[in-house]
Structure 1
Amino acid sequence: MTMTAQGLICVSVASEDKHHILSAVTPVLPLVDVVEIRLDGMRDPQCGQCIAALDKPVLATNRPAWEGGQWTGSEEERVNLLCAALRWGARYVDVELATASELQAQIIQEAHRHQAKVIVSSHDFDGTPDAAQLHATLQQMMASGADIGKIVTTAVSAAEVLRVLALQQDALAHDFPLCAFAMGRAGTISRFATLFLGGFMTYAALSEAQATAPGQLTVDNLHRLLSLLDHRP
């Protein structure tokens, strides 16, 4: 696997068509550990064949509009699609911390039935909360039954980026796998740094035009940075 220090590399793909997903992802499969399929970006999210065809673990995400995604249907339908993805072979599933607790529990139960892992996530597109709020979010994730947490904010300063990355210290103390980094131009470095600071996973794009979040590095650029670091004297 392309595991660097502790962190995994996940390529995030949002496409309307499962055939486009496969053709786009295939060239970068040797460079990544996980493929995130954004069900909320698909015209027909019945992607069982797509999951089966990928020679890497799949993370299924169905991001609602209220947390920056494209899903506008009912919460029950959204969660049912995530549960279906687990039955189709997804090894990870993402569910938002703000999802109703009974629906969270449904996904966690289904995931563990299929020996898959649940990422409970929180995304702030408006800014970076103070340290107390961030740590409260982390505590909620650890109490939720999540296998992995994901806390992503939007940063405009170095201080905000450092505040998010500092969450890794608390997560490591509790032996809780956590993805923690920041969106936006200021946060781009955190997407790389988290790989070496105990972060469970970072997310990369197929290309700049296909980025699924602000400040997301491409798979190629992320590997260029890794290559430079590997060749230090």
Structure 2
Amino acid sequence: MPDHGTVVPSILEPDRAGAEARIRMLPRRCALAEIRADLLSVDDLRRVVSSCRRKTIVTARRKQDGGAFTGTETERRELLLAGLHAGADYVDLEIDSSMAAEKPVPPERLILSWHGESGDTNSLQAMLARMISLGAALYKLVPHASQVGDLSPIRSFLKDIDPGGPAVICFASGSRGALSRILAPSWGSRWTIGFPPGARETAKGQFPVSDLLEIYDVDSIGKETRLFGLLGSDIQGSPSPSMHNAALRSLGIDARYLPMETDRFQDLNLLADPAGPVGAAGFGVTMPFKEDAAGLSCELDRSGRVAGAVNTLVPSGNGWKGHNTDAMAIRRLVDSLLPPGKRRVLIHGAGGTARTAAAVFRAAGDTVTMIGRSWNRVRQAAGELGVASTPDWPEPGAMDILVNATPEGAAGEPWPDHRPLPGELVLDAPYGARETDLVLKAGKCGLAVLSGRDLILAQAVEQFRLLTGLQAPEKVMADALERWFDRDPA
């Protein structure tokens, strides 16, 4: 069959104007577009398809299948056949639909699809055999992934397919299956699906097509491509892959830094296994696994050992060496603005970043106090780190440095007025598209300010060096970070 590229945007809009606007915004490399007609009228779909200069797929996902189409099967048949007769190249039908059984769509213009629960390689092969018996141009299988382990059967299934055989699209749905949407083309899937610029995902786990093409460059991932992972439980909003992949590309390194989302830290073993779905060569680690990563490490750098938390794992013998690049970043950033020693530091929080900051400032000879909403947790962390703790915010003038190591402020909430600002410097760890209220208030007061953006860039530069053994191109990473924040929000 013709090659339409490996990244297909899925467009779900309520009317013709919205759909046509999305099509106009598509990257040139997207030669094929899926028009989700769930909310379109027959006339709107005809007009969208006939005016589209790209190859098109039309489909309408029923409510029971996770879509938005609420009409009857007769109405859906009328809608999809209208799209076909208007010039759509393919119609996507679920294998269990009445239309698939009635075969009103010529096989050469039919995509048979199946969405279901995860299974083993044999179950995927059995479903493909059933699809092939009905006949179609392409066969799309999308099992739901509830955990990272559900990706292994997909990789094995795709690896076994003859490149000259049936045209198969296969990746996992769900946030735990997101990684497969990046890697599926390298495993043998004809394409992967994302959402267009400025839109929202049409299925859980999708990436913007611009990310698939530019940040991850999925077309160029091959058998020799080294893979690094960012391990965490909620990482789709992290700019780290954008920074690392820009740096790798600028140095001509055939490698990718990929989001590997899971709620089970032990999945790291599967992700690192050369026989597993990824074979990761190293990891960045984020919430909530920084302390777990320290516990796993057979060797720790000094900051990781003191803080009991690391955010970088690199292979070391038969295990992992844990590094805390947050500590390296905090030390470098703060010391450049305020010389160490005898600084009075208040740290808000008791998690991995707070513990790291406390360890850094204590090692520098500063006076450190921890505070937070969970008093018992704060007191325990402070005791383990050998610093003071308090349940009450101090009087104005009682601190030189304030570190906010909680998510507070990331969603735009105001910094409470009853909490005094420090005398010299604010380090606010949360980051987002806009500056936090704490950063803005500190700047207006003439204080030295370090934002979450400053911190995430500085730690990424150190992490890149540890993962690759090369000096990071900091300007390239800074530019990638700014592009990531400046892109059009969905």
TM over 0.5: yes
Residue 105 (structure 1) shift:
4.8
Report the 3-state secondary structure (helix = DSSP H, G, I; strand = E; otherwise coil) of the residue aligned with 2:135: coil
For 1:36, give the aligned amino acid.
E
Q: Does residue 226 in structure 1 map to residue 212 in structure 2?
A: no
1:131 match: 121
Distance 2:198 2:174 in 1: 13
Q: Which amino acid aligns with 1:20?
A: G
Equivalent residue number for residue 192 of structure 1? 182
Alignment partner for residue 147 of structure 1, among 137, 154, 158? 137
1:15–1:41: 8 Å Cα contact kept in structure 2? Answer: yes
| Cα distance between partner residues in 2 of 1:106 and 1:57 | 25
Name whichever structure is richer in helix by fraction.
1
Deviations 1:156-193 (A, max 9, x none): 33321121232213432770111100112221121111
Does 1 or 2 have the higher relative contact order (CA < 8 Å, sep 6+)? Answer: 1
- Provide the C-alpha distance between the structure 1 equivalents of 2:73 and 2:161, rounded to a whole number of angstroms: 29
Q: List per-residue Cα deviations over 1:14-61 (Å, max 9, x = no partner).
A: 10111111112212141312111111132x242222112211101000
Is the aligned partner of 1:104 residue 2:105?
A: no
Q: Is the aligned partner of 1:168 residue 2:158?
A: yes
- For the pair 1:122 / 2:114, whether they are aligned, the reply is yes
Aligned letter for 1:21? A
Superposed displacement of residue 131, structure 1: 3.0
User: Structure 1: 5+ residue runs without aligned partners?
Assistant: none
User: Does 2:23 correspond to 1:25?
Assistant: yes
Instruction: Give the number of the structure whose alpha-carbon radius of gyration is greater.
Output: 2
* Amino acid paired to 1:104: A
Asked whether the 8 Å contact 2:5–2:32 carries over to 1, the reply is no
Of all paired residues, the percent bearing the same amino acid is 26
* Distance in 2, Cα, partners of 1:220 & 1:174: 29
Q: What is the CA distance between 1:90 and its match in structure 2?
A: 0.2
CA RMSD of aligned residues (A): 2.3
Equivalent residue, structure 2, for 1:74: 72
Contact 2:178–2:205 (CA under 8 A) maintained in structure 1: yes
Question: How many corresponding residue pairs?
Answer: 220
Q: TM-score, normalised by structure 2?
A: 0.42
Deviation at 1:110, TM superposition (A): 3.3
The alignment status of 1:179 with 2:174, answered yes or no, reads no
Q: 1:40 aligns with which of 38, 41, 45?
A: 38
2:112·2:131 contact (CA, 8 Å) conserved in 1?
yes
The answer to whether structure 1 residue 215 and structure 2 residue 236 are counterparts is no
Q: 1:133 Cα shift?
A: 2.3
The residue type paired with residue 127 of structure 2 is: T
Post-superposition Cα deviations, 1:43-98, rounded to whole Å, max 9, x if no partner, equal x2422221122111010001112221122222122122211111000001100011
Farther off after superposition, 165-174 or 45-54? 165-174
5+ residue gaps in structure 2? 219-244, 255-490
Q: Which moved more, 1:173-182 or 1:91-100?
A: 173-182
Indicate if the aligned counterparts of 1:35 and 1:59 stay in contact, CA closer than 8 A: yes
